[in-house]
Amino acid sequence: MTKVNPCNFKPPKDSSVLISLAKLLLPLLIKYKYGDLQLKIVDNGLERFKALKNVRTIICPNHPSPADIEVVSLFSKLVGEELNFLTARELFHARPGRINLLEYLGCYSVARGTTDFSAYRTTRNLIVSGKKKLVIFPEGEVSYQADSLLPLKAGAIYMAFAALLKLRTIDKSAPVMILPVALKYSYKSNIRKNLEKTVRFLEHSLHIKTNRKSTLLQRIRFLSERFITQYEKEYNCSSTENTSLNNRVQNLRKTILNEVAKALGCELPKNYSLLDQIHFLQSVIYDLRWRKKEYARFFLKHTSSASQSKLKKWAKDLHHAVNIMGIYQESFAEPVAQEKMAALVEVMELDMFKHVSPKGPLLIHCDIGDALNLADYYDEFLADRSSTVDKVNNLLAARLFQQIGKLESYAPHIYV
């Protein structure tokens, strides 16, 4: 991957005072954004976590919802430990002109889609210091998928092994753990009334006449189709009646990527996944938007003189390419639980209005799994680094997937 500008790196500047204040205000923030939300750690998960006290650990949760940031912060409060968070670099400028406190709350930046050596070194050094556990979302993006995972990025595993290598020069017996944590969102009660209210609002926004004879799922399906059609027209992306929804979404994402890359004068890395290509372009735009053009030019075929308004527009295009990933054919396979309907609706809400409306009281079940001890794979890593990282990454994915399935039995199943 391409090297990134180190001057844009945001290191953690943990402030115990601000972290304590944030924990105090967290319930109010959650109430304001999501309404009633409760986090419940299942089985003996809390005891499993406490057994890792003072053990160097990377916590790796799945990433099904934009609410995961607040939920993991609530997790930190429940387990009674301050944590450090590897955070997408764009979030440090999410609200221009406002004071950003992320660095003081234990967060540090990573330029996704690039080789960010500053993030790599900081992660390694934080693990070695052993002062706090780290949180890294290995999917690298919100998946909007309650029952499955996006392909896991291997970066967390690689950085953990790098820390273990350094630790072996200090303490040969010190372990580094990878802790899988599964999150499963469900509603405590029937949310049909609020779902219908949001669907009507979206129908009005997309100029759709409500068909009272259609089921709620059929209306959401039609909404999703119109939502995708709207962007196909905007980006001149054609499809036929026989093109599946998944292929339409995939083709639309490719079209958006190619259009933004062409506008920037930037060549997309051919060996990247679509998501990695999106993150790569987001990093280029970040450097151009925040006056780091001397670094962005390494990615460009020619010097960009794009205005801030154009850069902002292209950044928005890339957000569309991320958000539409949450709409896929399998979501409409009946019977569909209300949580899956809500996720589809919220993808469109978030993309169109930049916020989601609370649908009802949320219950998030959390399963803390058995940690992977990287010391068990140390000799394999020395012999073949790439294969060992892939092996451990696949083990992490398998455990997370198993834990998500386990949580299915805890969630109330309500079909509306």
Mean pLDDT over 400-411 rounds to: 93
- What's residue 291's pLDDT? 56
Same domain, 157 and 54: yes
Measured in degrees and rounded to the nearest 5, phi and psi for residue 14 equal: -50, 125
* pLDDT, tens digit, 9 for 90 and up, residues 314-355: 999 999 999 999 999 988 988 889 999 999 999 999 999 988
Q: In a 3-state reduction of DSSP, which class is residue 125?
A: helix
* pLDDT, tens digit, 9 for 90 and up, residues 266-310: 889 888 999 999 999 999 898 887 755 445 444 554 445 678 889
Range of lowest pLDDT (74-78, 153-157, 268-272, 383-387)? 268-272
Structural domain for 21, as ranges: 6-188+360-407
Mean pLDDT over 104-112 rounds to: 94
In a domain, 1, yes or no: no
Which residue type is seen at 15?
A: S
In a domain, 221, yes or no: yes
Q: Is the pLDDT of residue 190 over 50?
A: yes
DSSP 8-class letter at 269? P
In a domain, 328, yes or no: yes
Location of structure tokens 């759709």: 208
Q: Is the pLDDT of residue 9 over 60?
A: yes
Same domain, 395 and 267: no
Q: Give the list of residues 6+ apart from residue 96 with CB closer than 8 angstroms, or none.
A: none
Mean pLDDT over 193-221 rounds to: 93
Location of structure tokens 């994402």: 253
Mean pLDDT over 161-185 rounds to: 95
Q: Which of 1, 3, 32, 15 is nearest to 357 (CA)?
A: 32
Q: What is the mean pLDDT of the chain?
A: 90
- What's residue 308's pLDDT? 82
Q: Is the pLDDT of residue 41 over 70?
A: yes
In the chain, what are the helix, strand and coil shares in percent, each to the nearest 5?
55, 10, 35
In a domain, 133, yes or no: yes
Mean pLDDT over 346-369 rounds to: 94
Q: Which CATH number characterizes residue 101's domain?
A: 3.40.1130.10
- What's residue 101's pLDDT? 86
Same domain, 337 and 198: yes
In a domain, 209, yes or no: yes
> By the 8 A CB rule, do 393 and 152 touch?
yes
In a domain, 248, yes or no: yes
Same domain, 235 and 184: no
Same domain, 323 and 401: no
- What's residue 74's pLDDT? 95
Report the domain count for the chain. Answer: 2
Same domain, 386 and 344: no
Distance CA 249, CA 321 (A): 9
* Of the residues 314, 329, 353, the one at which a domain ends: 353
Same domain, 152 and 223: no
pTM, whole model, 2 decimals? 0.92
The percentage of the chain sitting over the pLDDT mark of 70, rounded to a whole number, equals: 93
Distance CA 250, CA 83 (A): 36
Mean pLDDT over 84-109 rounds to: 83
